[in-house]
Amino acid sequence: MTGVPSGGAAPLRLPRRAGRLLGRIAAVLSWVVVIAGALAMLVPFLWMLGVAFRTSTDLYAAPARILPAQWTLHGVQAVVGQLPFARLIVNTFVFAGGATILMLLFDSMTAFALARLRFPGRNVVFVLILATLMVPFQVTIVPVFLTLFHLGWLNSYQGLIIPRATSALGIFMLRQFFMRLPSELDDAARIDGAGNFTVYWRIILPNAKPALASLFIIQFAALWNDFLWPLVISNNVNMQTLPAALTIFSSQSGIDHAALMAGAAISLTPLAIAFLLLQRFFVQGVAASGIK
């Protein structure tokens, strides 16, 4: 970095008092803008909650209100009546949870081998895995759909989960993390007679808990929110996940606003709760993928 220009050399220098006043005003204004922006981030979700619990006559009479004049559960009842809602929630949990757990297991095993073990072909494997990161998911979806069609795995949990049970990005992130763990950890265990599996299970995984937690959360959230994949793989409403079912529900004509917003609110709730409780891991997960 080349030096910071000294204050005297700065071309525009207002008299000190005027400058300080302007700075104050700018600071206050910027806070007003930032707070207004934060409200703009939250108001849509508050409105969603409000609509979910109000009657449609109330909504049509006063659309400018955020909260209902009278609270009603009819929206929740309607969406649960019109969609197999319990089934959709279970499907989404099984899909996002199952794929994430398998992915953490497989990715951490591969990352461990790539970061800590020597074997012929290691670099080739790593480069090939990295190369698949470049290819957008849409390139593979047509052939994978055909493969699952021939296997008879469309509209099934294994069809939803197995193809998503590993991720090149996860392998890459965990490998980076494992490489930063001191190698003395492994050496000490190996002197005590530990094999590869013991080092992986007893040494590396316990030391990688924060990275695994972050990866779990961002991956679970990504799959919970995933749309195109479950939309293509399941067209039967009993095997769909929440985003796909909600979208199809929302495109029906004569839609019941309260029912739709209740559905949206329910599908958002697990992630919202996880976010409130585990925000640190969300932030670390997203930030860790950004700075190496």
Partner 1 sequence: MTTTEAPAAGAGRRPAAPGLRRRRPRFNSAYLFIAPSVILIAIFIAEPIAQSGWMSLHNWTIGEATHKFVGFANYTALYHDSRFWNALRVTVLYTVVVSVGQVLLGLAVASRLRKTTWYSALLRSAYFFPYIASLVVVGIIWKFLLDPQVGLVNAWLSDVGISAPDWLQSTALALPTVIAIGIWKNVGFAMIVLLASMQQVPTFLYEAATLDGANTWQRFRHVTLPALRPALLFTSIIATITGLQLFDLVFAMTSGGPIFHTESVVMYLYEKGFVEFQMGYASAIAWVLFLIILAISAVQLRVARYRDVD
DSSP H helical segments within the chain, as ranges?
Answer: 16-52, 56-61, 74-82, 85-116, 122-134, 137-151, 157-161, 168-180, 184-191, 196-198, 205-207, 209-225, 228-233, 242-250, 257-288
Query: Is the CA virtual torsion 144, 150, 151, 157 positive or negative?
Result: positive
List binders of partner 1 among 52-81 (CB under 8 A): 59-60, 62-64, 66
List binders of partner 1 among 176-215 (CB under 8 A): 195-197, 200
Residue 118 within binding range of partner 1, rule CB under 8 A: yes
List binders of partner 1 among 80-99 (CB under 8 A): none
CA distance 12 to 27: 19
Between 136 and 254, whose beta carbon lies closer to partner 1?
A: 136
Between 11 and 182, whose beta carbon lies closer to partner 1?
A: 11
Q: Which of 84, 89, 93, 106 binds partner 1 (CB under 8 A)?
A: 106
Between 90 and 142, whose beta carbon lies closer to partner 1?
A: 142
Cβ at position 43, least distance to partner 1 in Å: 8
Is residue 86 helix, strand or coil? helix
Q: Which of 76, 109, 160, 262 binds partner 1 (CB under 8 A)?
A: 109
Question: Which amino acid would we find at residue 108?
Answer: S
Phi and psi angles of residue 56, each rounded to the nearest 5 degrees, phi first: -75, -30
Q: Which of 76, 83, 96, 113 binds partner 1 (CB under 8 A)?
A: 113
CA distance 278 to 275: 5
CA proximity to 223, closest of 107, 98, 122: 98
Q: Which of 35, 73, 90, 277 binds partner 1 (CB under 8 A)?
A: 35
Binding mask 222-241 for partner 1 (x = CB under 8 A): --xx-xx---x---------
Neighbours of 176 (CB within 10 A): 15
List binders of partner 1 among 246-265 (CB under 8 A): 246-247, 250-251, 257, 260-261, 264
Helix 85-116 and helix 168-180: axis angle, to 10°? 50
Cβ at position 103, least distance to partner 1 in Å: 9
Residue 268 within binding range of partner 1, rule CB under 8 A: yes
Cβ at position 184, least distance to partner 1 in Å: 20
Residue 147 within binding range of partner 1, rule CB under 8 A: yes
List binders of partner 1 among 151-170 (CB under 8 A): 162-163, 165-166, 168
Binding-residue total with partner 1 (CB under 8 A): 102
- How far is residue 251 from each of residues 101, 104, 136, measured CA to CA in Å? 33, 36, 27
CA proximity to 224, closest of 166, 266, 190: 266
Residue 143 within binding range of partner 1, rule CB under 8 A: yes
